Structures are given as structure tokens and as C-alpha cells.
Amino acid sequence: MHSLATISSKAPGQTVIRVRRTPFKPRQLRRFQAFIESTDWERRYLCSRQIDRACLGVLLLSALYFLPVMASAFLR
């Protein structure tokens, strides 16, 4: 994995922004892996009524948003 860091140039009149990739530190990866394996985040966050309702709301809103496009494609 790589994370991105933007570095702006200090040359006068130059507006170029260079992007340098920095490697993801193995220690951070191990800490994240330990968090995933040792906590009950799945039960706490994925089995929540509020999150289920929010996801359902997003799905319904996206269906309403794309309904005119789908209707015009099917009516052709």
C-alpha cells in the first residue's frame, strides 16, 4: 500500500504540484490489522439499525436519481 503526499514547488512563478508516493509503514499496517482482529467493530458498526437505514436511504435516493435515465433508455 502507498499513501500520497503532495509537495508544492517553491520556485517563483511555478504552479506545478508534484505528488510523491510514500510507502505505508508496516507498523501502522500491523496496528490496523490488530484492531480489525481484536475488536468487535463488525458487530458494532455493521449490525446497526441506523446504518442499515442510512444505506437503504442512499440506495433509494440513487434509484430515484437514475430513474429518468433508465426510463428513457427503456422507452427507446
Model pLDDT, residue 49: 87
Residues with Cβ within 8 Å of 23's Cβ and at least 6 positions away in sequence, in order, are: 1, 2, 3
Asked whether residue 54 is assigned to any structural domain, the reply reads yes
Looking at per-residue pLDDT, the higher value among 28 and 8 belongs to 28
Report the alpha-carbon distance of residue 72 to residue 61 in Å, rounded: 18
In a domain, 4, yes or no: no
**Distance of alpha carbon 63 from alpha carbon 75, whole angstroms:** 17
**Helix H or strand E segment including 5:** strand 2-8
Three-state DSSP class for 54? helix
pLDDT of 38 higher than 90: no
* Res. 8: pLDDT tops 80: no
The domain total for the chain is: 1
Please report whether residue 61 resides in a domain.
yes
Answer yes or no: is 7 within a domain: no
Alpha-helical runs (H) found in the chain: 26-38, 41, 49-75
- For residue 55, give its domain range: 25-76
In a domain, 60, yes or no: yes
Q: Is residue 33 part of a domain?
A: yes
